[in-house]
């Protein structure tokens, strides 16, 4: 992989052509591709949510709500499965080790408790009956959830990740998806964060080792192009 990275630096034109070719291959079958929207909930995205109340900068999360919904609607119309992933905090799923980590960031203690407004999806996001909704209790959307089963039951081979946070739940979900042999794409402009420096480093590392990090426009263009050919 190191040699591939060095080759890309020496031959940027060839590298870009290869990148687009590989993206096209990953997205060549819309019926086998899913969009996974991670943790776009009020506690992370709303000015009245737990993060904002604790003084965490949610501007990047709030900014992508509208564009994420528009992207989802486009992808749904192209035939992709839409999966909404919701973080849940429950006393039944919190170990002493997790509690110790949470004590360093008290705002996380009350995040996304089932039945509270903060656990709901951000205002402006629209879920359709055909969409899947998955609850998770860890950073990765795959850990201890039914996500992998849902994807495999729908014969999904590639996943497009959006949501928050780039260096947290998106990062760990992308790594797990790659280890489970899915093609992984991350829409950079639809990925939220509360720390831009950490987010940038995480996305750079993911792009190098685990995923294709690209723009949502590229994903739309390649997906709709393939959907048109299939039709």
Antiparallel, parallel or unpaired: β 158-164 and 33-38: parallel
Crossing angle of helices 12-26 and 216-230, in 10° steps, is: 50
Closest CA to 169 of 151, 193, 190, 188: 193
Give ∠ CA 40-37-44 in degrees, rounded to 5. 15
Cα separation, 53 vs 62, whole angstroms: 14
> Cβ(42)–Cβ(119) under 8 Å?
yes
Catalytic residues: 39, 136, 169
> Cβ(24)–Cβ(226) under 8 Å?
yes
């Amino acid at each position: 992989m190191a040699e591939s990275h060095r080759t890309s630096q020496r031959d940027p034109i060839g590298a870009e052509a290869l990148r687009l070719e590989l993206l096209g291959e990953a997205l060549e079958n819309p019926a086998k591709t899913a969009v996974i929207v991670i943790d776009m909930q009020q506690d992370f995205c709303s000015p009245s949510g737990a993060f904002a109340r604790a003084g965490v900068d949610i501007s990047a999360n709030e900014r992508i709500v509208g564009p994420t919904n528009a992207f989802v609607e486009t992808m749904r119309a192209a035939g992709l499965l839409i999966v909404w992933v919701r973080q849940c905090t429950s006393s039944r799923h919190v170990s002493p080790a997790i509690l110790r980590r949470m004590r360093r960031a008290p705002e996380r203690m009350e995040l996304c408790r089932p039945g509270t407004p903060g656990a709901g999806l951000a205002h402006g996001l629209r879920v359709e009956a055909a969409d899947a909704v998955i609850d998770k209790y860890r950073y990765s959307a795959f850990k201890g959830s039914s996500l992998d089963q849902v994807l495999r039951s729908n014969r999904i081979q590639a996943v497009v990740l959006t949501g928050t946070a780039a260096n947290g739940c998106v990062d760990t979900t992308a790594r797990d998806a790659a280890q489970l042999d899915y093609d992984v794409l991350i829409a950079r402009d639809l990925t939220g964060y509360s720390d831009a420096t950490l987010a940038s480093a995480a996305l750079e590392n993911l792009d190098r080792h685990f995923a294709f990090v690209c723009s949502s426009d590229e994903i739309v263009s390649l997906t709709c192009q393939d959907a048109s050919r299939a039709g």
